[in-house]
Amino acid sequence: QKEVEQNSGPLSVPEGAIASLNCTYSDRGSQSFFWYRQYSGKSPELIMSIYSNGDKEDGRFTAQLNKASQYVSLLIRDSQPSDSATYLCAVRKSGGSYIPTFGRGTSLIVHP
Amino acid sequence: GAGVSQSPRYKVAKRGQDVALRCDPISGHVSLFWYQQALGQGPEFLTYFQNEAQLDKSGLPSDRFFAERPEGSVSTLKIQRTQQEDSAVYLCASSLDWPAEIQETQYFGPGTRLLVL
């Protein structure tokens, strides 16, 4: 089992719909979770971080964390074509250097 | 202020050549990370510095890979005798003071795209 798992997609949604991106992780002691957006040929850009169980909202983005199920998700409301990108889930390890482990990313396509 | 910068942005090397990739972190950031990102994959950790000290190099794939940060600011990732499997994007990230707080985050540079022929 990989440490951080994401469906590679692509996930295709129509403009204006809700896009739901999911991530599972194996390190039960992890405390910090991050969602990065990466446009093709560009570097990852942090869009959301979450540390406690429950929901965290920031504009059109909502991150959801369930530590018991070792599951973190990202919801994008009112999806726009400009949201089309790869979304990377990163989980900070609970020991050692606490280096974040990244999933392979989910490709999101928002079509007009 | 200025973000993380990397140079060169693109590098083509012949197999067997040595290459050096540079990273300038955000001013004042103590922590610096190198990642390797293959096509279609997420970033894979290579090594991590706190100031000039290399605290974790567990991700370096072979002894051909070497990183340094002699004055605690600019870092260089060196790959000796490059192989085709080294072709990837090399990302540098910096952080204010990892891992002092669980909210500590990483800021990525634009990356260096390395192609080994």
Per-residue pLDDT tens over the stretch A12-60: 999 999 999 999 999 888 989 999 999 998 999 999 999 999 999 999 9
Q: Which of B55, B106, B109 sits opposite A100 (nearest CB)?
A: B106
pLDDT, tens digit, 9 for 90 and up, residues A48-95: 999 999 999 999 999 999 999 999 999 999 999 999 999 999 999 887
Only one residue has tokens 């089309």, namely A84
Preferred mutation among A56, A99, A104, A106 to probe B, highest tally of B CBs within 10 A: A99
Give me the amino acid identity at B17.
Q
- Report how far apart the first and last C-alpha atoms of chain B are (Å, whole number): 37
Distances (CA, A) of B92 to A75, A96, B20, B86: 28, 20, 13, 16
Q: How many CA atoms lie within 13 A of B73 on its CB side?
A: 6
Under an 8 A CB cutoff, do A97 and B99 touch? yes
Only one residue has tokens 């994007």, namely B89
List Cβ neighbours of B101 (8 Å cut-off, separation of 6 or more).
none
* Residue B105 to chain A, least CA–CA distance (Å): 8
Task: Compare all CA atoms of chain B with the CA of A49 and give the residue at the minimum distance.
Answer: B103
* Residue B23 tokens, joined: 């990273």
